[in-house]
Amino acid sequence: MQKLFSLFILLILTVTMPANAASHIKQLAELTPTTRVNQDWFGFSIATSGNTVVVGDYDANIESYGTAYVYVKPAGGWGNMTQTAKLSSSDNGEGFGTSVAISGNIIVVGAANTSNFQSAAATPGAVYVFVKPANGWHDMTETAKLVASDGLAGDAFGNSVSISGTTIAIGAFFVNNFSGRAYVFTFTGSGWTQAAELTASDSSGLLDYLGCSVAISGNTVVAGSFGHNNFQGSAYVYEKPAGGWTNMTETAELSASNGRGGDNLGFSVAINGNTIVAGTPGAANFFGSAYIFVEPAGGWVTTSAFTAELGAPDAIQGDSFGQ
């Protein structure tokens, strides 16, 4: 699986103008680490919450583990800057920086041991949790380390992560012959506990890649499965049961009525409230697109009816818009 990367991050501000006027986008800052080397892949993963940005810096081709950098908006506003803090794992987690997520004062960093893309991995992967200290972000190692209760070498646990409040969703898309799985961890007051394993009821048992992407908003988790149905792809929705998270299959499966094999729907997913977006980078011969699904009044149901399909007006073949 490929991911997009950049050598720096550009923060932008979108100003909404009246309908009869043009909108303006202004670059506010360029964020860089204090130490940079060739092929760092700084920006391999990115997440924001409020005035805080976290950036993963990991290149599976040249390093065993990476770094995550934290940037906090200065009192005077965003400007070109180096990091506020550098996050690392205490045990040199293989693949650290593969994925990042943040919610309020909690940052999550995946260490999926991505060497398993090219050779056998020695570990299942792990996820590291960092809680903001009372005196603010500073260079530190993790507050907690999360692992799957049934993890096996090569699972790629942590290839994707998401957090909402004190609930963390984690993808492990190489589990069980690449059929994939997603995990939910919750904070119990004394520590993090694995609360659920999420699976697909119609998994082929091979090359579904469930958990290639995960996102969580409140009590809803969405997990991408770009290999499902001959790589047409699906996004699976999981709603927290009344009794709390538990091992379960999906509440609903989302697909595209105009989808075709090789579209890779679900390669990326995002959710906010009752709206889900699923990236489809293989669509239209790798021009790429993204599908929007809005929760019906009665709740999420399995459907191939999407609300909208988004594309880039200047896309060319190979852009993989939606990746």
Q: What is the tens place of the pLDDT at every residue in 41-62? A: 898 899 999 999 999 998 776 7
What whole-number distance in Å separates Cα of residue 30 and Cα of residue 122? 37
pLDDT for residue 38: 72
Contact (Cβ atoms closer than 8 angstroms) between residue 270 and residue 224 = no
pLDDT for residue 40: 75
Report pLDDT digits (tens) over 194-225: 999 999 999 989 999 999 999 999 999 999 99
pLDDT for residue 116: 41
What whole-number distance in Å separates Cα of residue 145 and Cα of residue 35? 26
- Which pTM value belongs to this model? 0.91
Both structure tokens of 88: 């690392």
Contacts for 75 with CB less than 8 Å, ≥ 6 apart = none
Q: Give the CA distances from residue 45 to residues 67, 100, 125, 142, 201, in Å, rounded to whole numbers and listed in that order.
A: 11, 6, 17, 18, 30
Number of H helices, E strands in the chain: 3, 23
User: Can you give the residue ranges of every domain in the chain?
Assistant: 1-104+125-145, 166-323
Where b means 16+ CB within 10 Å and e means fewer, 258-287 reads ebbeebbbbbbbbbeeeebbbbbbbbeebb
Contact (Cβ atoms closer than 8 angstroms) between residue 107 and residue 130 = yes
> Per-block average pLDDT, block size 10, for the chain (323 residues)?
41 49 78 83 93 90 84 96 96 92 98 62 90 98 97 94 98 95 95 98 95 98 98 98 98 97 98 98 96 97 98 93 94
SS3 breakdown of the chain: % helix, strand, coil, rounded to 5? 5, 45, 50
Architecture category of domain 166-323 in CATH: 7 Propeller (2.130)
